[in-house]
Amino acid sequence: MTATQRPVVGTALSFQPGGNAVDDVVAAARVATESGLGTVWLGQRFDYDAISLAGIIGREVPTIGVGTSAVPIFGRQPLLVAAAAQTAQAATHGRFRLGLALGSATFTEKAFGQPFRRPAQRLEEFLTVTREVLTTGTVEFHGTEIDTETPMPTALPGAEPVPEILVAALGARALAVSGRLADGILPYLADPAVLRHHILPDLTRAATEAGRPVPRVVALVPAVVTDDRTAGRAAFTQTMAFYDRIPSYRRVIELSGGDSAADLALVGTADEVRDGLRRYLDAGAAEVVVTQTGLMGPDAERATWEAVADLAR
C-alpha cells in the first residue's frame, strides 16, 4: 500500500444481552459510523440471519457498508443465498458484500445432518452458481455437489451492482478456488507473516492462472484498546478457545507462531493496536476489520473503533 492510499477499515458487530437484538445492533452500527468506520460485518449465527440483518443495518444507517463474515455454504442452497444477497443489496442501495465460508465439520454434521465432504469442490460449485445467478438472473448447473436450475428469472430490480463475493479462505484449496472465482477473501487469525508468505502467494497464483485480478484481502483481526492488558488477554483467551479446535484455524495459528487463537489478538494502547493493524496492511491486506471489540465494555469498544478509524484518515 502506498502512502497516498487509504485503507478501508471496519468492525465486526456483536450483541449485548437484553433489549432487542436488531435495534441494538443498528444502534451499534450508528456508533461505528460516528467513530469513523467505513464498514460493519456480521458473522452467521444460529439466532439470527446475517444477510437479513446486514440489509436492515444498511437500510437504517445509509452511510455505512455492510457485509457478512461469513455465511457457511453447507446447509444452504445457492439460489436462496443469492436471493437473500440481492435483497440486501437492493435494501442498502449497493453497499452489501456477501461473505461465504466453508464452516466446520462439527457444525455441518451436528447442526445440519449433512456430511462435510469435498468442501473445496462444494465451494467451487457454490461460487459458480451464485455468481451466475447474481450476474445473469438465471442458471443451469449440474455438478457433483450441487445440482440446480432456476425455474424462472431471478434478477431483482435495484440489486445493483452485483454484490461482491468474498470467501473466508485459509487453506490452499479454498484459496485456489477463491483466486479463480471470488472478489475477495476474509482471512481470520492469519498474522501478517502468514498473509505475506502463505495466503497471498496461493491466492495470487490461482488468480494469475485464471487471468483475473487478485481478489481483495479483507483481514479480520481481534483487537481491543485497553490499559488493562491482563484482563484483555484473559477475555480473548476465554472467548476464542473455540477456534483452537478447528483444524483450519489451528494451522494458521501455528504458522503465526502462536499457541492459541488469543495470541493473535491485539491488546494495548490505541497506538499499539494501530501499529499492529498497519502490519496487516503492509503485508498486503487492502482492508482491516477488527473483531471482538466489545469484550472490555462499550467505552473500550468505542476507543478501539476510533483508534482504527484513524488509519483511514
The confidence score (pLDDT) of residue 137 equals: 96
Query: pLDDT confidence of 4, banded at 50, 70, 90?
Result: very low
The share of the chain scoring above pLDDT 90, in percent, equals 88
Express each pLDDT in 152-163 by its tens digit: 999 999 999 999
pLDDT, mean over the chain: 94
Residue 22 has pLDDT above 70, yes or no: yes
DSSP annotation string for the chain: --TT---EEEEE----SSS-HHHHHHHHHHHHHHTT--EEEE---SSS-HHHHHHHHHHHSTTSEEEES-EESTT--HHHHHHHHHHHHHHTTS-EEEEEE---HHHHHHHH------HHHHHHHHHHHHHHHHHHS--EEE-SS-EEE-SS----TT--SPPEEEE---SHHHHHHHHHH-SEE--BS--HHHIIIIIHHHHHHHHHHHTSPPPEEEEEEEEEE-S-HHHHHHHHHHHHGGGGGSHHHHHHHHHTT-SSGGGG-EEE-HHHHHHHHHHHHHTT-SEEEEESTTTT-HHHHHHHHHHHHGGG-
75 vs 82: which has the higher pLDDT? 82
Query: What would the mean pLDDT of 206-231 be, rounded to a whole number?
Result: 97
The confidence score (pLDDT) of residue 126 equals: 98
Query: What would the mean pLDDT of 179-200 be, rounded to a whole number?
Result: 97
The confidence score (pLDDT) of residue 200 equals: 98
The confidence score (pLDDT) of residue 2 equals: 33
Between 7-16, 19-28, 45-54, 66-75, the lowest mean confidence (pLDDT) is in 7-16
Residue 48 has pLDDT above 60, yes or no: yes
Query: pLDDT confidence of 29, banded at 50, 70, 90?
Result: very high
Residue 312 has pLDDT above 60, yes or no: yes
Express each pLDDT in 229-287 by its tens digit: 999 999 999 999 989 988 889 999 999 999 999 999 999 999 999 999 999 999 999 99
Query: pLDDT confidence of 28, banded at 50, 70, 90?
Result: very high
Express each pLDDT in 88-147 by its tens digit: 999 999 999 999 999 888 778 888 888 888 999 999 999 999 999 999 999 999 999 999
Nearest to 288 by CA among 195, 179, 182: 195
Query: pLDDT confidence of 3, banded at 50, 70, 90?
Result: very low
Query: pLDDT confidence of 6, banded at 50, 70, 90?
Result: low
Domains in the chain and their CATH numbers?
Answer: 8-312 (3.20.20.30)
Residue 31 has pLDDT above 90, yes or no: yes
